Amino acid sequence: MNYEESLAWLEELGVFGSRLGLSRIRRLLQMLGNPQDKYRTIHVTGTNGKGSVTAMLTEILQRSGLHTGCYSSPHLVSYTERVRVDGQDIPEEDFAACLTEVRAAVDVIVADGHESPTQFEVLTALAFLYFAKREVQTAVIEVGLGGTLDSTNVITPEVSVITNVTFEHADRLGGTIESIAENKAGIIKEGVPVVTAASGIPLDIIRRTAEEKNADLFVLGEDFRADRVSGEEAAALYAREGVEPPRGNTQHFSFTSHLMGIEPSLLDLHLMGSYQIQNAAVAVMTAEVLHHSGEQIAESAIREALRFVRWPARFEHMRLGTQDIVIDGAHNPDGARVLRESLDAEDTARERVYVLGILGDKDRRLMLGALLRPGDTVVVTPPQSERAGSLAELADLVRPLVSSVECYADNDRALARGLELAGGKKLLVLAGSLYLVGGLRKKLLDRQKQEAKGGQT
């Protein structure tokens, strides 16, 4: 298959939806020679933050000189974004070649009378196969959904990471916060250390599972901590040490782990948003656990990784001419809450215009209540997904909460209207679903390139 044929086949698989379970992926990987067993792995799950932690850990490993793979989901624009080696997306020709190999195994499985693997299982097998072909040393693997029955849960990692646990995907994961936490804790393996930022009932369940599996557990707030440091405080500390402070959008925090013998240490983080400090602490602690288990990770690699890491559409700041823009794929109530907190922390007084699209199977009412202010202006538009839901219903939910709401079925028109309403003075926020903001982000980047070319002529 070529790349276009590969995409067409993936879309065919997507028609059948997702089905939890590990029998199909295990059979498929066995047909491919169990490529997931040919390198070390780190497994990352959680309700929010798992993508950011995956990105930070990948950057830390790369800057430590390790040949590193990364598997994440969903993508913003192209399937190739999901599979990366040393920071580079899998080339389209390699994507097609690996998928051709995977399809051949799927055809044999189906011919033998077994159930066909799902689209996500096929993509997971493709990633594992590509990493083996590239002979990576370590791969950071992000869970797709939950943990126990997610198709990535066929690996035995060096460290298991559970960022946090909140109430999402309840219909798929048992219907209660306890069942969701048990599902996330399903990635914990016998004797494999666990790092988590979970709290409350979910932490109790994770702690119990770790004890049952004889797995050392490292908990944010108990075994390590992160404290925000203001820009002024950081500047003063750098001045005293004669060190040049970082430039551009950067926040600062102090990382401490008496358990690991780490006294308060100032770190700079390129990713913005107050919630990213917690994510960074989880990534740093995971790196420390890896280091103590024999992985050669230098403190300088951690510092550089956090200072330069990129993770698109997660409280990402962009500028188009005079227009300030924040892009955030907040897609559940907790994500909406922390987005609002991060926006308020930067500037409470500035007026905001949202271009907003939320999937129909999300708790839209709770998300909107957590995110919006009475004076906000909102342009609603659908995410590019079969789960988009009713646009009119979303507008009806938004209307009582804000000063003005407009509705556009076309994403291009919605973005143009958002830019018009913001007018270079109000803050434009693109949010609600990665299936929306990924496409809008690409349109903005294309416009930036066009404007840059125009300025050079």
Q: What is the pLDDT of residues 11-43, one digit of tens each?
A: 998 765 667 789 999 999 999 999 999 999 999
Residue 258: which CATH number? 3.40.1190.10
Average pLDDT over residues 404-419: 97
Q: Which range, 282-286, 306-310, 327-331, 453-457, has the best average confidence (pLDDT)?
A: 282-286
Q: Point out the least confidently predicted range of 10-14, 38-42, 267-271, 366-370.
A: 10-14
Provide the token pair at 331: 């897609």
Has residue 255 got a pLDDT over 80?
yes
Say what percent of the chain tops pLDDT 90.
Answer: 79
* 316-320: strand order across its sheet: 316-320, 323-328, 427-431, 352-356, 377-380, 404-407
Give residue 350's pLDDT band: very low, low, confident or very high (50, 70, 90).
Answer: very high
Instruction: Say whether both 184 and 221 belong to one domain.
Output: yes
Burial (0-12, 13-18, 19+ Cβ within 10 Å), 364: buried
Q: What is the pLDDT of residue 340?
A: 95
Closest by Cα among 175, 440, 141 to 312? 440
H or E segment to which residue 238 belongs: helix 231-241
Give residue 386's pLDDT.
Answer: 85
For the chain, report the end-to-end CA distance as a whole number of angstroms. Answer: 42
Q: Final residue of a domain: which of 266, 283, 308? A: 308
127 and 190 within one domain: yes
Same domain, 297 and 332: no
Tell me the C-alpha to C-alpha distance, in Å, between residue 175 and each of 49, 204, 453.
21, 18, 52
Residue 89: other Cβ atoms inside 10 A: 17
Q: DSSP per residue over 46-106, as a string?
A: -SSSHHHHHHHHHHHHHHTT--EEEE----SS-GGGGEEETTEEPPHHHHHHHHHHHHHHH
Per-chain mean pLDDT for the chain: 93
Q: Are residues 258 and 385 in the same domain?
A: no
* 202 and 64 assigned to the same domain: yes
**What's the pLDDT score for residue 67?**
97
Same domain, yes or no, for 327 and 184? no
Domain boundary among 308, 327, 358: 308
| 3-state secondary structure at position 266 | strand
- Mean pLDDT, residues 108-116 taken together: 95
Residue 105 · residue 12 · CB < 8 Å: no
Residues contacting residue 254 through CB under 8 Å, at least 6 positions apart: 226, 227, 229, 264, 265, 266, 267
Any domain includes 330:
yes
Range 207-227 average pLDDT? 97
Q: Is the per-residue pLDDT at 170 higher than 50?
A: no
Task: Check whether residue 15 and residue 135 sit in a common domain.
Answer: yes
Point out the least confidently predicted range of 139-143, 150-154, 228-232: 228-232
Kindly state whether residues 322 and 304 are assigned to the same domain: no
Whether residue 163 is predicted with pLDDT greater than 70 in this model: the reply is: yes
Same domain membership, residue 324 and residue 268: no
- Joined together, the tokens standing for residue 51 give 């993508």
> Could you give the CA distance from residue 208 to residue 215 in angstroms, rounded to a whole number?
10
Of 266, 286, 308, which one is at a domain's C-terminal end? 308
Give which of 56, 54, 47 is closest to 72, Cα–Cα. Answer: 54
Is the pLDDT score of 51 beyond 90?
Answer: yes
Most confident listed range (62-66, 166-170, 174-178, 337-341): 62-66
169 and 215 in a single domain? The answer is yes
Instruction: Give the CATH number, domain containing residue 426.
Output: 3.90.190.20
113: left (phi over 0), alpha (psi -120 to 50) or beta: left
Domain count, the chain: 2
> How far is Cα 5 from Cα 388, in angstroms, rounded to an integer?
26
Rounded to whole angstroms, the maximal C-alpha distance in the chain is 70
Q: Is the dihedral of CA 290, 294, 297, 299 positive or negative?
A: positive
In a domain, 245, yes or no: no
At residue 217, the 3 state secondary structure works out as strand
Same domain for 355 and 289, yes or no, is no
Residue with tokens 């490993």: 61
Instruction: Write down the pLDDT at residue 214.
Output: 98
Query: Residue 457 — very low, low, confident or very high, per pLDDT cuts 50/70/90?
Result: very low
| H or E element, residue 252 | strand 251-257
Domain ranges, residue 427: 316-456
Q: Are residues 362 and 269 in the same domain?
A: no
Q: If you average pLDDT over residues 360-378, what whole number do you get?
A: 95
